[in-house]
Structure 1
Amino acid sequence: MKWHGTRRLSGALLALTAASGLLLTGCSGGSDDSGGRSATDSSYDGGNGSAPLPAPDGPTGGEREGEQESRDIAPEPDYLSTFALDVDTASYGYARRTLADGRLPDPSTVRPEEFVNSFRQDYERPDGDGFSVTIDGARTEQDDWSLVRVGLATRSARDPGERPPAALTFVIDISGSMAEPGRLDLAKKSLGVMTDRLRDDDSVAVVTFSDEAETVLPMTRLGGNRDEIHDAVDSLEPTDSTNLGAGVETGYETAVEGLREGATNRVVLVSDALANTGDTDADTILERISEHRREHGITLFGVGVGSDYGDALMERLADKGDGHTVYVSDEEEGRKVFCDQLPRNIELTARDAKAQVAFDPRTVAEFALVGYDNRRVADDDFRDDRVDGGEVGPGHTVTALYAVRTKSGADGHLATATVRWLDPGSRSPHEESGDLETADLDDSVWSAGRGLAVTATAAYFADALRSSDHRHSGLPGALGLGELADRAGDLAERTEDEDVRGLAEAIRTADRLD
């Protein structure tokens, strides 16, 4: 299928480029095995009185949010793509759960960036806070199209004893729908194990909500009080309806009452997000707690559960609550989220992080960002630090994938990727950049290194699930689901990667269900 700049792809198979948006997550260190080039020589410390770096090379012509939402390919003279970083992975987890239940996921719940960011990436990591930038790519079998990967990585997570203490307010849904196996019971088991793994100087509060919200346990230090916390968690039982708005509001009030200076203060929302009582609109809910978010820097971590799941509401809450979402479908995933990811990545290394990719008009004819539909930022706002970006912690990677058509016979500079963020403490701005040349493109996506091949496979899969027939992706070089599953299986064998093996099985299941 050939792409054209005037073609509108049904179902928004690809998002805007000039104003597209970008959050989690592979948590592995080491050097990238894909041959990508990493550059950190364009560092800018806005707090030292230096003049800001110029925008990455290329004409500006940025658009404001919401303009030309049907455009898939950025026409001349627009060669910039700007987005807020995001590390959500809930969409992929929920899709796998839905497929395991014998159903194809609703296309509206499929967000390609969350599929892509669900897999480990071996990007080079920076020594200190901030990001490294890796940009690489490979050619597809379709005309002059390539897939270009922009990879951003934070430093590795510290040992638990080295991070700041945490003050976590758990807001737990105990509505009637949470009685289904794999919901409240899973949350209780996960929270119980996590309680034993947190440090003595960490603090935990517990808020529950059904038709009303209640603070079951105020902010309590774990040292000497673990039994009390276990009792509070064990006592949770499902009841009545879902007033999610009341739960979030009470959760933030409890977090503010127990606010600890020098600690990471976070609200952890555990719910199926099937709100049916009180405020059910994310904007209304967040408006009521916006003061707490702005003044106290409390971030939101959303944990979705259940075969029926309010994906859109949870994702919106996390995006506007300066946080991210994951989806948990079984006890093993629950342990990973509560016992590994959350304790290890409690602190933040970057606030209001944004990325801007400048494609070189001398070599690039057209391009499109895959996914990130709701994370777009106007190009002119890239260096406006009043404009909200994404919050990212240690041990995270963020990946953005672009479809890029190079000009016939073009040779030379292809793109520059720049990430800008604010220091969590001082709020001083910093930047890093990386470059890609046409000569650095691998000959084939499928013979490229593990990271790029997995990224392409996940993106092709997500794009196919969003298409009208659930079978064929509109991305250049796409394969049918059956052949894509075989490619993923071969990749899993080559890399001995169980996560990729799970991806291959999910693709095979989707192929059978279609």
Structure 2
Amino acid sequence: MFVAATVSLGLLLTACGGGIGDDSKDRGSGRTREDNGFPAPTPAQPTAPPATGGGTDQGYEDDEGKGELRESAPPADYLSTFALDVDTASYGYARRTLREGRRPDPSTVRPEEFINSFRQNYERPDGNGFTVTMDGARTAAPEDGFEDGFEDGIEEESRDWRFLRVGLATREAEDGGERRPAALTFVIDVSGSMAEPGRLDLAKESLDVMTDRLRDDDAVALVSFSDEARTVLPMTRLGDHRGRVHEAIDTLEPTDSTNLGAGVTTGYRTAVEGLREGATNRVVLLSDALANTGETDADAILDRIGDARREHGITLFGVGVGSDYGDALMERLADKGDGHTTYVSGADEARTVFCDELPRNIDLTARDAKAQVSFDPATVDQFKLIGYDNRQVADEDFRDDRVDGGETGPGHTVTALYAVRVKPGARGHVATATVRWLDPSTRVPHEETGRVEADALDGPLWTTTTARSGLQVTAVAAYFADALRSGDGRWSALPGALPLGELGRRASHLAATTESRAIQDLSNTITQATTLPS
């Protein structure tokens, strides 16, 4: 079943709301846990559905009732709060490593980046901000088209679990001239490791094509780095100067070691010097992130550029390349640098990122975006957010706009998938999801809220309906990521998890149903994984 929830938009007070919680990824750290790694069920507590009329309810009674939770506010252990993330690098890098005949290191597998690699058809808003869509399905049930007895082998406990999907969407990207002009500073790694085919050569080709596709009122600067960093081209308005940009790109040649810290610092300095008021100012870092000289700690590098990020709102877009790739460093830089990352392994992917996606998605639609999901203890025993391990936010910081969130642009969709165990016979309200963001121009906070009922989660997962709604590919991507990081004691298996061979069969059927090239690529990647030792 599918429920689209796009209700109650409002300006919000800046007072802190939500519960006082622990790590919202796995609620109930103060309680015992079952062997499956999920928090043990909490005794039911009376509750009513949270209010959805504008989102200004902070969950406390006024006057003499202060300090007592209202009946509609869930306990702290029933809140989950995280910063939005549109990164996809983890999935791209996993695909490359599997093509090369090796499994990715479990530490590089981030399920949310697998899930968010697949664009969803959520309802979109007319302006900046988000819509909220919530739906779900049983993780194990008799399924249309797959009544082959496989479900009989699933543990009985898994039959109590549901997937709950929270989908957030921004407005469509405009192909025309509706966006603000852009000031892009490209920071290009020209260290010796970038001489490998598919690295610097790929970057130069993509930059050349992108330069011709940007608008005349856009501007470009170019910084290169190896053991040192230098500004190859200061901020230059394209107009009649595209030839200068192409000449600067042609000068890029691989040289020595990788002083990524110097590159990022010089890149931000160049961006500040070329800052354009009324434009979208962004640093685009292209590197294999194998820093081996100078400052190599992400937090120390971020400290150097902190003023540029905070005072001028310059965001970071990281593009990873290379068969050996410093995933952890690039991901940390992007997450804490108000940006996001992707990974490209070939010419087609590079052209898509630089020539299609980047020119269309230069603009921002939201800053410091965070989501909070409150679960109803009257209907929910347990829940677990799948992924977002590095994006957790304290529940009480949801409405503290000083706390960093995620940045999104037009054309983005963000999906959060939860494993939820509902109470037997549960009916009525299950969860309410709220997304909060700052307007990219005025920094005024806004919120949008959606809710989902128990009957919306009762349908089977493997049906034509869930295939076309996008829920099924979300589940396949989550199960695949879960399988790739199996064996690492930090994570427990998802309920209803399928063997890779069966998952590949489901993915192949889904690709045929949807006629999606991206899902066919996912199916092929799962098949490759089945041939490798775990």
Matches within 5 A, 1:137-216: 137-141=136-140, 142-216=158-232
Give secondary structure in 2 for the equivalent of 1:224: coil
Counterparts of 1:85-96 in structure 2 under 5 Å?
85-96=84-95
Alignment of 1:272-287 (within 5 A): 272-287=288-303
Classify 1:172/1:52 alpha carbon distance in 2 versus 1 (closer, same or farther; 3 Å).
Answer: closer
Aligned-residue offset at 1:127? 1.1
SS in 1 for 2:316: strand
**Alignment deviations for residues 271-301 of structure 1 (CA, whole Å, 9 cap, x no partner):** 0000000000000111011011000000000
> Is 1:397 matched with 2:397?
no
Which of 64, 73, 85 is the equivalent residue of 2:38?
Answer: 73
AA partner of residue 281 (structure 2):
N
Taking a change above 3 Å as real, the CA distance of residues 275 and 65 of structure 1, as seen in their structure-2 partners, is farther
Take 1:393 and 1:202, find their aligned partners in 2: how far apart are those partners?
17
Residues 284 and 469 (structure 1 numbering): CA distance in 2 closer, same or farther, change over 3 Å?
closer
Q: 1:409: Cα distance to partner? A: 1.2
1:122 aligns to 2:148 (yes or no): no
Q: Is the 8 A contact 1:205 1:217 kept in 2?
A: yes
Measure, in 1, the Cα distance between the counterparts of 2:164 and 2:215.
41
SS in 2 for 1:399: strand
1:298-340 alpha-carbon deviations (Å, 9 max, x no partner): 0000000000000000000000110000000000000110011
Distance 2:501 2:313 in 1: 46
Instruction: Provide closer, same or farther for how the CA distance between residues 186 and 426 of structure 1 changes in structure 2, counting only shifts above 3 A.
Output: same
Taking a change above 3 Å as real, the CA distance of residues 45 and 469 of structure 1, as seen in their structure-2 partners, is closer
- 1:416 Cα offset (Å): 0.6
Tell me, what secondary structure is at the counterpart of 2:404? coil
Tell me which residue corresponds to 2:482.
463
Question: Equivalent residue of 1:445, what SS?
Answer: coil
User: Which of 467, 482, 488 in structure 2 is aligned with 1:449?
Assistant: 467
Instruction: Decide whether aligned partners of structure 1 residues 263 and 221 sit closer, same or farther in structure 2, where only a CA change above 3 A counts.
Output: same
Residue correspondence of structure 1 range 83-482 to structure 2 within 5 A: 83-141=82-140, 142-447=158-463, 448-450=466-468, 451-468=470-487, 474-482=493-501
Aligned partner of 1:10 in structure 2 is: none
Contact 2:23 2:392 in 1 (8 A): no
Aligned residue identity for 1:461: F
In 2, Cα distance between equivalents of 1:438 and 1:400: 18
Aligned AA (1:36): F
Return the alpha-carbon distance in structure 1 between the equivalents of residues 399 and 268 of structure 2: 30
SS of residue matched to 1:115: helix
Name the structure 2 match of 1:44. 10
- For residues 61 and 379 of structure 1, the distance between their equivalents in structure 2, rounded to whole angstroms, comes to 6
1:487 maps to 2:487? no
CA contact (8 A) 2:14 2:401 kept: no
Are the aligned partners of 2:112 and 2:416 in contact in 1 as well (CA < 8 Å)? Answer: yes
Q: Which amino acid counterpart does residue 449 of structure 1 have in structure 2?
A: A
Paired residue secondary structure (1:204)? strand
CA-CA distance at 1:160 after TM superposition: 3.3
- Compute the displacement of 1:436 (Å): 0.6
1:445 deviates by 1.4
How much does 1:235 deviate? 1.5
1:62 to 13, 18, 21: 21
The amino acid that maps onto 2:22 is E
The residue type paired with residue 500 of structure 1 is I
Which structure 1 residue ranges, 4+ long, deviate > 3 Å from structure 2? 51-56, 64-77
By how many angstroms is 1:251 displaced? Answer: 0.2
**1 CA distance for matches of 2:14 and 2:315?**
28
AA aligned to 1:438 is A
CA RMSD of aligned residues (A): 2.0
8 Å contact 1:38–1:132 — kept in the other structure? Answer: no
Show CA shifts across 1:204-248 (max 9, x none).
000000000010000001111111101111121100000000000
SS of match in other structure, 1:273: coil
Q: Which amino acid counterpart does residue 42 of structure 1 have in structure 2?
A: S
Change (3 A) 1:203 1:500: same
Paired residue total: 472
Alignment partners' CA distance in 1, 2:385 and 2:24: 15
Q: Report the TM-score when normalising by structure 2.
A: 0.86
Note if contact 1:464-1:473 (Cα within 8 Å) is conserved in structure 2.
Answer: no
Q: Matched residues in 1 for 2:240 and 2:395: separation?
A: 51
* Bigger radius of gyration among the two: 2
- Contact 1:44/1:53 (<8 A) preserved: no
Report the residue type matching 2:436 in the other structure: R
Q: Shift of residue 191 of structure 1?
A: 0.5
Match of 1:24 in 2: none
Q: Which deviates more from structure 2 when the two are superposed, residues 166-175 or residues 382-391?
A: 382-391
Does the 8 A contact of 2:186 with 2:283 survive in 1?
Answer: yes
Deviations 1:26-65 (CA, angstroms, capped at 9, x unpaired): xxxxxxxxx532223221113xxxx579957xxx342279
| TM-score, length basis structure 1 | 0.89
Whole-Å separation in 1 of the counterparts to 2:100 and 2:312: 41
In the alignment, the residues of structure 2 paired with residue 269 and residue 478 of structure 1 have an alpha-carbon distance, to the nearest angstrom, of: 37
Equivalent residue number for residue 146 of structure 2: none
- Relative to structure 1, the CA distance from residue 461 to residue 473 in structure 2 (aligned partners, 3 Å threshold; closer, same or farther) is farther
Q: Secondary structure at the match of 1:476?
A: coil
The 1-side partners of 2:217 and 2:436 are apart by 33
State the secondary structure of the residue aligned to 1:242: coil
- SS of residue paired to 1:82: strand
After superposition, give the CA deviation of every residue in 1:182-217 in whole Å (9 maximum; x if it has no partner).
100010111110001000110000000000001000
Shift of 1:111: 0.3
Summarize the Cα distance change of 1:66–1:97 in structure 2 as closer, same or farther, 3 Å threshold: closer
1:13 is matched with which residue?
A: none
Equivalent residue, structure 2, for 1:14: none
Q: Distance in 2 between matches of 1:66 and 1:160?
A: 40
Which runs of 5 or more structure 1 residues have no equivalent in the other structure?
1-34
